[in-house]
A = this chain, B = another copy of it.
Amino acid sequence: MSSTYQRIVLASRPQGNVKADNFRLETLPLPEIKDGEVLIRNHFLSLDPYMRGRMEEAKSYAAPQPLNETMIGGTVGEIIASNNPRFAVGDKVLGMLGWTEVAVSDGALLRKLDAASPIPLSAYLGAVGMPGLTAWYGLTQIMQPKAGETVVVSAASGAVGSVVGQLAKQMSCRVVGIAGGAEKCAYVVNELGFDACVDYKAGNLDADLAAATPDGIDAVFENVGGEVFDASLARMNPFGRIAMCGMISGYNGEPIAIKNARVFLTMRLTMRGFIVSEHMDLWPQGLKELGTLVATGKLKFRESIAEGIAQAPDAFIGLLKGQNFGKQLVKLN
């Protein structure tokens, strides 16, 4: 075993686009653990759009990522040394240990994973993790679609959108995805079972979305914002519901406008922004449902896996540009 490990820290806050030099790769000696602590070797790091917000100093729902500290991030890994009776060497754990190969923890925020489960380890960062819960919460708690209603999901092939759409299909909705590119759209329809998918890069977003939603739209799960969201708003039916989950179209941190806000009034829409980490009371219910679906093959997911921690910055920049295809992970060890 190596006597050093690597991590990535935030070196500077982005001015507009995130660039590779906003990050710094560091090599450090393996840390010692004290009484009650464990040492974890991470196998997978999750890359997620929310990290872009943390890179800003602006007021938001969470404190900014501090400079020169390990970038925040969800991880799955295993215990490689333990001074904590709750954990044995070899235990698989889910944590928020950040962009790092190795981490020390007192175990309080680690979740031990069932090694005997048919759920793959990486799924705890996706369909059976925060992205899946985000999808489940927005759909079941905010959008609450009825059978036969039309549901639209942007970033439909992504870690969150793909779960939203599959769950909505199980609720007997008409499900229309919006994604970037013909390959993603084909996947969304052919593999995930959406009824239709609109390629926003094809240049006819408004017309294509209208054709795919002949009865209008009853509920939207919004991950993108900007013109993609405006296109959905223009198709809303009365009493439509919008789960506002993300605005990745503004990945530079610039303000994102809603062009025609009058539709909120004329169609009596309800829009709610949410952060699933603030609704932990519902996590056990959501994780149980998602875990059962993944374990029984009823919820499909796809992963984009970057190899090695040094690739994390480029993979993250690609994620912000929509270059990933499915859940973006970094394989660490």
Contacts and interface: CB of A to CB of B under 8 A. Distances in A.
Interface string A258-274: 11111011111111111
Interface string A240-269: 000011110010000111111110111111
A268 B61 CA distance: 8
Interface residues of A, number: 33
A278 interface: yes
Nearest to A253: B262
A59 B271 CA distance: 20
Interface in A274-297: 274-275, 278
B268 A269 contact: no
A238 interface: yes
A61 B269 CA distance: 11
B257 A259 contact: yes
A158 interface: no
Given A257-B257, A258-B257, A271 B264 contact: yes
A53 to B, nearest CB: 7
Most buried by B among A247, A256, A273: A273
Q: What copy number does this chain have within its complex? A: 2
A265 B246 contact: yes
B225 A266 contact: no
Contacts of A257: 257-261
Contacts of A245: 265
B250 A262 contact: yes
Contacts of A267: 61, 273
Most buried by B among A53, A229, A258, A275: A258
Contacts of A246: 265
Given A61-B238, A255-B260, A257-B259, A275 B268 contact: yes
Nearest to A268: B273
Given A273-B267, A273-B268, A275-B268, A256 B247 contact: no
A60 interface: yes
Contact of A255 (B262, B269, B270, B275): B262
A260 B270 contact: no
A256 B260 contact: yes
30 contacts: A60-B266, A61-B265, A61-B266, A61-B267, A61-B268, A225-B261, A244-B265, A245-B265, A246-B265, A247-B261, A247-B262, A255-B259, A255-B262, A256-B260, A256-B262, A257-B258, A257-B259, A257-B261, A258-B261, A264-B271, A264-B273, A265-B273, A267-B273, A268-B273, A268-B274, A268-B275, A269-B271, A270-B271, A270-B272, A271-B272
